[in-house]
């Protein structure tokens, strides 16, 4: 009888734990809604906080300073957009190769960090209006004498895992993938790691966003030892990534971005980080 009573207590405890965990799960999902019908805006507008996922080594879009502070072009832009709605932005460093997974799991609310719009990503998530034009460049050391993709024949190439450049290499293999050694690039978690190998001659070419390359090389003491070759891949647009069906949040971000373009705040952010308005689709809409 005593053993049966103890067994009953154990089963009851397990059931209570299971119910408790299930309750936690329900509360977690309710923050974001379902993937098909999310209600992120309703939640963040009440909590006055939104979580942005980023690669915190992607200069100048979003990166950590030596003191650990996260700064950058996209950091300023995101804060300026949500300041209009009285919402605080928290920036969460993530594994960039897992950015869409982090978004769909609800770990973050947005991907906002030099995130290129392309059909492959658009199948899984929703994008804001494009706010910046970018392209890929091939960075090498001048002593490698690489003047085009053709000069990479038999050489080792590097690219960031999960980046638009990595997708370009796979989607259009004839341009670069079929030329490089082993017909596969070396994949890096961050461009910082890739530049270390480029400097050490472990790779001979690095496919990278021109925005990152320009800013990074400009701040290197040995800038003159590098060379950037224009990419043969098409130009791309940066946008903010959010869950499918997040229509209200998309509308709020698009409206916020366009207001910044019209009131001059976007121009100030552009000048701060680039010294120019670069090629911003939003600025073209300003009369």
Tokens representing 249 are 């949040």
Give the 3-state secondary structure of residue 151.
Answer: helix
Residue range 134-165, pLDDT digits in tens: 999 999 999 999 999 999 999 999 999 999 99
Integer CA distances (angstroms), 206 to 85, 98, 146, 197, in order: 40, 21, 11, 10
- With CA atoms as reference, report the closest residue to 97 among 162, 53, 160: 162
Work out the average pLDDT over 186-190: 94
Q: Which CATH architecture has domain 40-133+238-274?
A: 3-Layer(aba) Sandwich (3.40)
Element (H or E) spanning 263, and its range? helix 247-263
Instruction: Look at the chain and count its residues.
Output: 287
Mind listing the pLDDT tens digit for each residue in 79-110?
999 999 999 999 999 999 999 999 999 999 99
Measured at the alpha carbon of residue 58, what is the angle toward residues 56 and 61, in degrees to the nearest 5?
A: 100
CATH of domain 136-230: 3.40.190.10
Q: What pLDDT band is residue 38 in, cutting at 50, 70 and 90?
A: confident
Domains 40-133+238-274 and 136-230 share a fold: yes
Per-domain residue ranges for the chain? 40-133+238-274, 136-230
């Amino acid at each position: 009888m005593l053993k049966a009573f103890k067994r009953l207590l154990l089963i009851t405890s397990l059931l209570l734990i299971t119910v408790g965990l299930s309750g936690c799960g329900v509360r977690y999902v309710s923050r974001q809604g379902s993937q098909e019908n999310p209600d992120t805006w309703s939640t963040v507008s009440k909590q006055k906080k939104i979580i942005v996922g980023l690669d915190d080594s992607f200069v100048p879009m979003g990166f950590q300073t030596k003191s650990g502070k996260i700064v950058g072009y996209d950091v300023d832009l995101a804060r300026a957009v949500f300041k209009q709605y009285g919402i605080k932005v928290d920036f969460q460093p993530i594994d960039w190769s897992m950015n869409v997974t982090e978004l769909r799991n609800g770990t973050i609310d947005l991907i906002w960090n030099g995130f290129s719009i392309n059909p492959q990503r658009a199948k899984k998530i929703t994008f804001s209006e494009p706010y910046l034009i970018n392209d890929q460049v091939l960075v090498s050391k001048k002593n490698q004498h690489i003047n085009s993709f053709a000069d990479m024949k038999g050489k080792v190439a590097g690219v960031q895992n999960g980046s638009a450049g990595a997708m370009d290499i796979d989607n259009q293999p004839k341009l670069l993938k079929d030329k490089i050694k082993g017909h596969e690039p070396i994949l890096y978690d961050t461009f910082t790691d890739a530049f270390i190998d480029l400097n050490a001659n472990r790779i001979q070419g690095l496919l990278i966003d021109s925005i990152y390359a320009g800013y990074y090389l400009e701040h290197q003491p040995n800038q003159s030892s590098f060379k950037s070759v224009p990419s043969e891949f098409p130009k791309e647009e940066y946008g903010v990534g959010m869950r499918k069906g997040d229509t209200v949040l998309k509308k709020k971000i698009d409206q916020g971005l366009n207001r910044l373009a019209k009131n001059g705040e976007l121009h100030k952010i552009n000048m701060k980080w680039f010294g120019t308005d670069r090629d911003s689709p939003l600025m073209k809409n300003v009369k």
